[in-house]
Structure 1
Amino acid sequence: MLRKIRLTVALVSFVMITLLFLDFTGTLHTWFGWLAKIQFLPAVLALNVGVILLWVVLTLVFGRVYCSVICPLGVFQDIVSWFSGRRPKKKYRFSYSPAVSWLRYGVLGVFVIAVIAGIGSVVALLAPYSSYGRIASNLFAPVYQWGNNVLAYIAERSDSYAFYETTVWLKSLPTFIIASVTFIVLVVLAWRNGRTYCNTICPVGTVLGFFSRYSLFRPVIDAEKCTNCSLCSRKCKAACINHKEHRIDYSRCVTCMDCIDTCQHGAIRYESRLKKTVEVSGEKKTDNARRSFLTGMGLLFVSSAVKAQEKKVDGGLAVILDKKIPERMTPIVPPGAQGLRNMQNHCTGCQLCVSVCPNQVLRPSTKLSTLMQPEMSYERGYCRPECTKCSEVCPAGAILKITPADKSATQIGHAVWVEKNCVPLCDGVACGNCARHCPVGAISMVASDPDNANSLKIPVVNTERCIGCGACENLCPARPFSAIYVEGHELHRTI
Structure 2
Amino acid sequence: MLRRIRQTVAFVVIVLITLLFLDFTGSVHVWFGWLAKVQFLPALLALNLGVVIGLMVLTLVFGRIYCSVICPLGIMQDGFARLGRMAKKNRYRYSPAKNVLRYAMLALMAAGILLGIGSLVALLAPYSAYGRIVQSLLAPVWQWGNNLLASWAESRDSYAFYTVDLWMRGGVTLAVAVATLTVLAVLAWRNGRTYCNTICPVGTVLGFFARFAWLKPVIDTSKCNGCGLCARNCKAACIDSKNHSIDYSRCVDCMECLAKCHRGAISYSALRPVRKENPVKPATCKVDADASRRQFLGATATVAVAAVANAREKTVDGGLAAITDKKIPSRHTRIVPPGAVSLRNMASHCTACQLCVSVCPNGVLRPSADLLTLMQPESSYERGYCRPECTKCSEVCPAGAIRPISVADKSSVQIGHAVWVRENCIPLTDGVECGNCARHCPVGAITMVASDPSVEGSRKIPVVNTERCIGCGACENLCPSRPFSAIYVEGHEVHRTI
Which TM-score applies when normalising by structure 2?
A: 0.89
Residue 72 of structure 2: aligned partner? 72
Residue 216 of structure 2: aligned partner? 218
User: 1:452 offset after TM fit, Å?
Assistant: 3.2
Residue 304 of structure 1: aligned partner? none
User: 1:275 offset after TM fit, Å?
Assistant: 11
2:349 corresponds to 1:346: yes
CA deviation string 1:219-257 (max 9, x = no partner): 000011001111111111101011111100000001111
SS at 1:30's partner residue?
Answer: helix
2:101 corresponds to 1:103: yes
2:136 corresponds to 1:150: no
State how 1:50-449 maps to structure 2 within 5 Å: 50-87=50-87, 90-273=88-271, 322-449=325-452
User: 1:102 offset after TM fit, Å?
Assistant: 0.4
SS at 2:164's partner residue?
Answer: coil
Contact 1:121/1:372 (8 A) holds in 2:
yes
| Aligned-partner Cα distance in 1 for 2:258–2:431 | 80
Contact 2:231/2:238 (8 A) holds in 1:
yes
User: Which runs of no fewer than 5 residues in structure 1 stay unpaired?
Assistant: 277-316
Contact 2:219/2:273 (8 A) holds in 1:
no
- In structure 1, give the amino acid aligned to 2:6: R
User: 1:321 offset after TM fit, Å?
Assistant: 6.0
User: 1:205 offset after TM fit, Å?
Assistant: 0.2
Identity of aligned residues (%): 69
Contact 1:321/1:380 (8 A) holds in 2:
no
| Aligned-partner Cα distance in 1 for 2:120–2:271 | 38
Contact 1:414/1:487 (8 A) holds in 2:
yes
SS at 2:230's partner residue?
Answer: helix
Contact 1:321/1:379 (8 A) holds in 2:
no
| Aligned-partner Cα distance in 2 for 1:474–1:137 | 24
Residue 18 of structure 2: aligned partner? 18
SS at 1:368's partner residue?
Answer: coil
Contact 1:323/1:482 (8 A) holds in 2:
yes
Contact 2:424/2:484 (8 A) holds in 1:
yes
| Aligned-partner Cα distance in 1 for 2:455–2:270 | 89
Contact 1:216/1:274 (8 A) holds in 2:
no
Contact 1:385/1:404 (8 A) holds in 2:
yes
SS at 1:180's partner residue?
Answer: helix
Bigger Cα displacement from structure 2, 469-478 vs 110-119: 110-119
| Aligned-partner Cα distance in 2 for 1:68–1:255 | 7
User: 1:453 offset after TM fit, Å?
Assistant: 4.6
1:490 to 483, 486, 493: 493
Residue 4 of structure 2: aligned partner? 4
Residue 466 of structure 2: aligned partner? 463
SS at 1:363's partner residue?
Answer: strand
SS at 1:485's partner residue?
Answer: strand
Which TM-score applies when normalising by structure 1?
A: 0.90
CA deviation string 1:416-461 (max 9, x = no partner): 0000100100111100000000000000011111123522111000
| Aligned-partner Cα distance in 2 for 1:173–1:318 | 27
| Aligned-partner Cα distance in 2 for 1:98–1:318 | 65
User: Which runs of no fewer than 5 residues in structure 2 stay unpaired?
Assistant: 275-314, 318-322
User: 1:67 offset after TM fit, Å?
Assistant: 0.3
CA deviation string 1:313-364 (max 9, x = no partner): xxxx999861000000000000000010000000011000001100010000
User: 1:31 offset after TM fit, Å?
Assistant: 0.8
User: 1:97 offset after TM fit, Å?
Assistant: 0.6
Residue 46 of structure 2: aligned partner? 46
User: 1:91 offset after TM fit, Å?
Assistant: 2.0
- In structure 2, give the amino acid aligned to 1:8: T
Contact 2:451/2:458 (8 A) holds in 1:
yes
SS at 1:412's partner residue?
Answer: strand
- In structure 2, give the amino acid aligned to 1:167: D
How many residue pairs align between the two structures? 453
Residue 31 of structure 2: aligned partner? 31
CA deviation string 1:264-296 (max 9, x = no partner): 0000001114799xxxxxxxxxxxxxxxxxxxx
